[in-house]
Amino acid sequence: MRILIDVNHPAHVHLFRCAAREWEKRGHAVFWTARDKDIVIRLLDQYGFEYTVLSSHRKGLLGMACEMVQRDWKMLRYAMKVKPDVMLGTSVTITHISRLYPAKSILFMESDPSLVRFIVWLSFPFAHAIVLPNCLSYTWGKKVYTHNSSHKLADTHPKWFTPDPSVLDELGVKPGETYFVVRFIAWGASHDIGEGGLSIDAKKRLVAFLAARGRVFITSETELDPDFEPHRLRIEPNRIHDALHYAALFVGDSQSMSVEAPILGTPALRCNSFVGRTTVIDELESKYDLAYGFRPSEFEKMLSKIEELLARRNLKEEWMKKRERYLAEHGDMTSWMVQFVEEYMTGKRGPCT
């Protein structure tokens, strides 16, 4: 097969990178298209993938609309050049172009429909297949296929990821020294309109609170406030999972890392307006007690929870045991995806019922 993968966000690189290598080993040709957003391009370079950039991230509804038109046009031209059999991603673009160029589009989604209405309206009618975790409920009939896994397990599952302790040297952290990873996001995506996370005052209070209890490393989608510069995380982006694994806690307003951290065995505390409305993360919180969510008005409660967690003995061992239960009940996303795409394209995987 000729497989085209379209990535718009760093999390999408992590979602497909291991599967891409497996498909290549099986003799398939893999092509990448990308959106220049945050660290997407740096990750693709670090993992050694060749790619074509279709657009750069734009802000506001008008900017995003113009970017979508640009991406569609450039994707059509690129598809005509490389002639893919199937197009994979989480993007609107692949679904549009798959109706203009004779290729199948398989849309991988993990967000609740109420939070990504624009994406649902613009992509679902055109997608050939829609792939979801089985904890989500989408009513799109025979287009929908489900799996018992998570996007974040695609490259954090033990089959694909072994933590590298050399990251501690890169961080300048001694073995056993307490440190925290903090993530601030930009709130510029289409589904972020009307939503929010930590205010600048809350961020400053949080960093000061954590710094009194250990080392603090901050990664941010936006330019860092000068007060935070001494805490900037200065490792390569492809080392973030190693840093998360060895951290005492993850704290921030990011959705993606709030899933990655607990899957890697680190307690995650997030503070944003999506709390209580994200099924995949809510499962980590309510069923597995691996993560905690707080709305911006509950900032003080989050600080109290941090204090409580840090007072526990053997916190890391406790979380690794909870993680083992989660892994035992969720499959390997990459292996499932590799097999699914091959079966779907060869007709061995029939319509979902």
**pLDDT band at residue 353 under the 50/70/90 scheme:** very low
Q: Which two tokens stand for residue 7?
A: 């990535």
CA dist list (Å): 91 to 3, 215, 333: 15, 37, 19
> Residue 308: which residues within 8 A CB-CB, separation 6 or more?
none
Tell me: pLDDT of 58 over 80.
Answer: no
Which domains does the chain possess? 2-157+332-346 (3.40.50.2000), 167-328 (3.40.50.2000)
Note the pLDDT of residue 117: 84
Mean pLDDT of the chain: 92
Greatest CA span in the chain, whole angstroms? 59
Q: In the predicted model, what is the mean pLDDT of residues 193-216?
A: 90
Q: Say if residue 335 is exposed, middle or buried (CB neighbours under 10 Å; 0-12, 13-18, 19+).
A: middle
Q: In the predicted model, what is the mean pLDDT of residues 171-177?
A: 92
Note the pLDDT of residue 197: 84
Determine the distance from the C-alpha atom of residue 226 to the mean position of all C-alpha atoms in its chain, rounded to a whole number: 27
Q: In the predicted model, what is the mean pLDDT of residues 21-35?
A: 97
**pLDDT per position as a tens digit, 148-171:** 999 999 999 999 999 999 999 999
**pLDDT per position as a tens digit, 266-297:** 999 999 998 988 899 999 999 999 999 999 99
Tell me: pLDDT of 187 over 80.
Answer: no
Alpha-carbon distance of 305 to 216, in angstroms, equals 17
Alpha-carbon distance of 187 to 59, in angstroms, equals 10
Kindly report the length of the chain: 353
End-to-end CA distance of the chain: 26
Note the pLDDT of residue 141: 73
Note the pLDDT of residue 84: 98
Q: Are 206 and 272 within 8 A, CB to CB?
A: no
Q: What angle do CA 131, 133, 138 make, to 5 degrees?
A: 70
Q: In the predicted model, what is the mean pLDDT of residues 318-338?
A: 96
Lowest mean pLDDT among 23-27, 112-116, 158-162, 239-243: 112-116
**pLDDT band at residue 194 under the 50/70/90 scheme:** low
Note the pLDDT of residue 65: 84
Residue with tokens 């060749």: 50
Tell me: pLDDT of 223 over 60.
Answer: yes
**pLDDT per position as a tens digit, 81-139:** 999 999 999 999 999 999 999 999 999 999 888 888 888 899 999 999 999 999 887 77
Q: What angle do CA 182, 234, 18 make, to 5 degrees?
A: 80
Sign of CA dihedral 69, 73, 76, 82: negative
Q: In the predicted model, what is the mean pLDDT of residues 8-32?
A: 96
Alpha-carbon distance of 249 to 310, in angstroms, equals 9
Helix-helix angle 333-346:10-25, to 10 degrees? 60
Give rounded-to-5 percent helix, strand, coil for the chain. 45, 20, 35
Among residues 106, 103, 114, which one has the least CA distance to residue 145? Answer: 106
